[in-house]
Amino acid sequence: MLEQAQRVLKDIFGYDSFRGRQGAIIECVAKGGDALVLMPTGGGKSLCFQVPALLRPGLAVVVSPLIALMEDQVATLDELGVAAASLNSTLSAEQQRELAGRIRRGEVKMLYLAPERLVQQRMLDFLRTLDIALFAIDEAHCVSQWGHDFRPEYLQLGQLAELFPHVPRIALTATADMRTREEIVTRLHLQNAERFLSSFDRPNIFYRIVPKEQPRKQLLAFLGERRGNAGIVYCLSRKKVDDVAAYLCDQGFPALPYHAGLPAETRASNQRRFLNEEGLIMVATIAFGMGIDKPNVRFVAHLDLPKSLEAYYQETGRAGRDGLPADAWMAYGLQDMVMLKQMLQNSEGDERHKRIEQHKLDAMLALCEETRCRRQILLNYFDEELPQPCGHCDNCIDGVQTWDATEPARQALSAVYRTGQRYGVGHLVDVLLGRDNEKVRSFGHEKLAVYGVGKARSESEWRSLFRQLVARGLADIDLEGYGGLRLSDSCRPLLRGEVSLELRRDLKPQTTSKGSSSGGSPASQLVRGDEREQWEALRALRRKLAEEHGVPPYVIFPDSTLLEMLRSQPSSLSEMAQVSGVGARKLERYGEAFLEVLGGAAEAPPQVTDLRHELTSLARAGMTPAQIAGQLNCSEKNVYSMLAEAIGRHQLSLEQALDLPEDLLAEVQDAFLDGEGELPPVSAIAEQFGSRVPEGVLYCVRAALAAEFEM
Ligand code: ADP
Ligand code: ZN
């Protein structure tokens, strides 16, 4: 079974090996078992049901919550030569009837549809008349009433278990937490499903969190190192989204806004452009997210703090789905905390709920002020252990300097206390620095003992200190008032001198594109300067083909495949077939064109020996004889006879040369082996098969038998 799966992986998808637990999952489902798959974004969930769908007879039914997701997958499968279709509200009644006809005739292998469509009685009745290979339930966390992607129609999918007891079901999600997991099992009746839990680490993402000083300049510096790459910039409010998008455009960056306040057409068009064009920056609220399957998002930048680590993980996780280096960058400051705490305060919901949200925010703040490896902390929050620091986050790379802040922290807290626990950080810093201004004088704060005690430190050091005091819960923000600071109970031991306090020393923020602390990371550019020209040429060809086919560029080839072409410089179709992501269909369709760009194509027609070599390579890459004939510009008959020769020389296996249904193969073999003694010639049995089996196939089968028995 696994061998067959491997072959489908190579032939259809062009990949050499399974990733992580893909192999085990595919085996489980292909054998007819149920599976629950928890895998991070970019982990390769689609293959987990697409490969078994191709291995099992009948129609595979895939439930997906969004039309955009369905269409993306159908386009991708289409490019791979797999008959897939989506049944959704954009189809006319006529088109739907036509699709039903194709399904009935067995011409469709994978059918994508929305949950509400699947559970319609008519649909279920229709499916029951068919042979169903499997049900795949994508984004299965939509069944969870606690998550923000809840879709009530998902609840009805439980009935599939009773209606189709013998059809395997596989549920997939990138949502990790235990509660969602159990909910999926109960609601979808997956008690007997084998569970496949992958690590949620995203090793290709580089995490960096910087103190917010001049956020726009900091963002520019970050983006400046990533020109030409696509990314998302998240902001909290719609107004800020509009402002930042306009600002970036002014500064010469191709940016588009996205938030729920924009007209539906603008949103749809901006989203489409982001998917189809290269190097666009989407400035967005969190309304932009689910359904964004673009694999080559190279960075996610946060100008505002997410409200939990769950949100942070999910939002940053949209970067680097293709597995290539990507960046998660965030600028964060005291104002973020005030804003989120205020929002929390004003939100609806009971006290218990608010307390939970408060804890989640605290965990997010702790990550920002963290002095240890960010990845370790992040994974730990999701109950996963990373034994060593990752070496791929700002704290690991830059190291974190800490300092003994016990004394200045006490001075700061005492400034809070002496001024009556109602002033914001700006005023408190003025007092500590001994500034002589109207506000200070009007309250008589120049007479306090703390006035001017902090002159030895700079304003930004004091601000950093206050931020960390709040983040650690040593001071609270008065949310009903004007955002003034108050002492919290937990600061007493510090004030009494019973404990000391180590704080993070903020690095000087970088606002030019030199140096690395603004966010330079190994990911900033995928290709080297000397590779750029060819890289752009490959991308241009991909863009052209994508336009011709009406699909996003990554559907033609993902960046990782283009990058491998660039690095391995294939000079023939057979070498091209070795590139990961180049399956038989794409080799046939696009191989020549990309070779030409790489400069290895316009050669003389291959010599005879090369031709044989080329032929075996193409067959190994999964091309059918007809495809090979087209590719090598010779007759199919010729191809068959060369294939038979290669089989005879043990250079090819019969499975590599042909794609014959098992029962038919057995029938042909029996026909050859029926007689006594020597293998009969092809002509002796050809009549028996007539037009059912091409003569060339008979030659190949005979050659294989002869090779096997050395006759
Ligand atoms: P997910 O749905 O889990 O976010 P996808 O199924 O979209 O992930 O896969 C992410 C990317 O990884 C896709 O471009 C896919 O083609 C690629 N991929 C998946 N499995 C493999 C594999 N075994 N080898 C190489 N690339 C793979
Ligand atoms: Zn780290």
**Ligand 1 midpoint to CA 342 (Å):** 40
**Ligand 1 midpoint to CA 46 (Å):** 7
| Residue 15 beta carbon below 6 angstroms from any ligand 1 atom | yes
> For 218-273, what is the HEC assignment?
HHHHHHHCCCCCCEEEECCCHHHHHHHHHHHHHCCCCEEEECCCCCHHHHHHHHHH
CA distances from 69 to 275, 324, 559, 628 (A): 12, 21, 19, 33
Buried b / exposed e along 79-116 (16+ C-beta atoms within 10 A):
bbebbbbbbbeeeeeeeeeebeeebeeeebbbbbbbbb
Q: Which ligand is nearest to the CA of 394?
A: 2
**Ligand 1 midpoint to CA 175 (Å):** 17
CA distance 510 to 39: 36
Q: Tokens for 55, please give them.
A: 């291995």
Instruction: Say what the pLDDT of residue 159 is.
Output: 95
Instruction: Say what the pLDDT of residue 108 is.
Output: 97
CA distance 628 to 614: 9
Instruction: Say what the pLDDT of residue 688 is.
Output: 85
Give the number of other Cβ atoms within 10 Å of residue 550's Cβ.
9
| Residue 47 beta carbon below 6 angstroms from any ligand 1 atom | yes
CA distance 226 to 230: 9
| Residue 26 beta carbon below 6 angstroms from any ligand 1 atom | no
- To 10 degrees, what angle do helices 636-648 and 625-632 make? 110
Buried b / exposed e along 512-543 (16+ C-beta atoms within 10 A):
ebeeeebbbbebbbbbeeeeeebbebbbebbb
Nearest CA residue ID for atom 5, ligand 1: 44
Q: Which ligand is nearest to the CA of 45?
A: 1
Element (H, E) at 486: strand 485-487
For residue 600, the Cα-to-chain-centroid distance in whole angstroms is: 33
**Ligand 1 midpoint to CA 293 (Å):** 11
Nearest CA residue ID for atom 23, ligand 1: 18
Nearest CA residue ID for atom 17, ligand 1: 44
CA distance 607 to 264: 58
Nearest CA residue ID for atom 24, ligand 1: 15
Choose one of 47, 557, 580 to mutate for the ligand 1 pocket test, by most ligand atoms within 8 angstroms of C-beta: 47
CA distance 482 to 10: 62
**Ligand 1 midpoint to CA 15 (Å):** 10
Counting atoms of ligand 1 from 1, which one is nearest the CA of 43? 3
| Residue 317 beta carbon below 6 angstroms from any ligand 1 atom | no
**Ligand 2 midpoint to CA 397 (Å):** 7
| Residue 49 beta carbon below 6 angstroms from any ligand 1 atom | no
| Residue 320 beta carbon below 6 angstroms from any ligand 1 atom | no
**Ligand 1 midpoint to CA 344 (Å):** 37
Counting atoms of ligand 1 from 1, which one is nearest the CA of 48? 6
**Ligand 2 midpoint to CA 378 (Å):** 10
CA distance 392 to 387: 14
- Mean pLDDT in runs of 10 for the chain (711 residues)? 92 94 97 96 95 97 91 93 92 93 96 95 96 96 84 94 96 85 94 94 95 94 93 96 97 96 94 91 89 88 94 94 94 88 82 84 91 93 91 92 92 93 92 93 93 92 89 83 84 90 78 45 70 90 92 92 93 92 93 88 52 80 83 83 85 83 86 81 84 87 83 57
Q: Indicate the residue type of 176.
A: A
Nearest CA residue ID for atom 25, ligand 1: 15
**Ligand 1 midpoint to CA 295 (Å):** 9
- To 10 degrees, what angle do helices 682-689 and 695-709 make? 130
| Residue 321 beta carbon below 6 angstroms from any ligand 1 atom | yes
| Residue 39 beta carbon below 6 angstroms from any ligand 1 atom | yes
Nearest CA residue ID for atom 11, ligand 1: 322
Q: Which ligand is nearest to the CA of 372?
A: 2
Q: Tokens for 199, please give them.
A: 């690590």
**Ligand 1 midpoint to CA 694 (Å):** 37
| Residue 322 beta carbon below 6 angstroms from any ligand 1 atom | yes
| Residue 204 beta carbon below 6 angstroms from any ligand 1 atom | no
**Ligand 2 midpoint to CA 522 (Å):** 14
CA distance 275 to 620: 34
Strands 502-504 and 402-404: antiparallel
Counting atoms of ligand 1 from 1, which one is nearest the CA of 46? 6
Nearest CA residue ID for atom 9, ligand 1: 44
CA distance 538 to 566: 8
Nearest CA residue ID for atom 26, ligand 1: 15
To the question of pTM greater than 0.85 for the whole model, the response is no
Counting atoms of ligand 1 from 1, which one is nearest the CA of 45? 3
**Ligand 1 midpoint to CA 596 (Å):** 27
Choose one of 10, 17, 46 to mutate for the ligand 1 pocket test, by most ligand atoms within 8 angstroms of C-beta: 46
Choose one of 6, 10, 12, 15 to mutate for the ligand 1 pocket test, by most ligand atoms within 8 angstroms of C-beta: 15
**Ligand 1 midpoint to CA 599 (Å):** 29
Q: Which ligand is nearest to the CA of 200?
A: 1
| Residue 324 beta carbon below 6 angstroms from any ligand 1 atom | no
**Ligand 1 midpoint to CA 327 (Å):** 19
Choose one of 9, 19, 296, 555 to mutate for the ligand 1 pocket test, by most ligand atoms within 8 angstroms of C-beta: 19
Counting atoms of ligand 1 from 1, which one is nearest the CA of 322? 11
CA distance 652 to 125: 46
Alpha-helical (H) ranges within 473-521 are 492-495
| Residue 44 beta carbon below 6 angstroms from any ligand 1 atom | yes
| Residue 558 beta carbon below 6 angstroms from any ligand 1 atom | yes
Give the number of other Cβ atoms within 10 Å of residue 484's Cβ.
20
**Ligand 2 midpoint to CA 208 (Å):** 10
**Ligand 1 midpoint to CA 324 (Å):** 11
Q: Tokens for 431, please give them.
A: 């007092």
Half-sphere exposure of 690 (CA within 13 A, CB side): 1
CA distances from 16 to 9, 19, 135, 680, 695 (A): 7, 10, 26, 38, 32
**Ligand 1 midpoint to CA 473 (Å):** 41
- To 10 degrees, what angle do helices 309-316 and 351-368 make? 60
Q: What are phi and psi of 238, to 5 degrees?
A: -65, -40
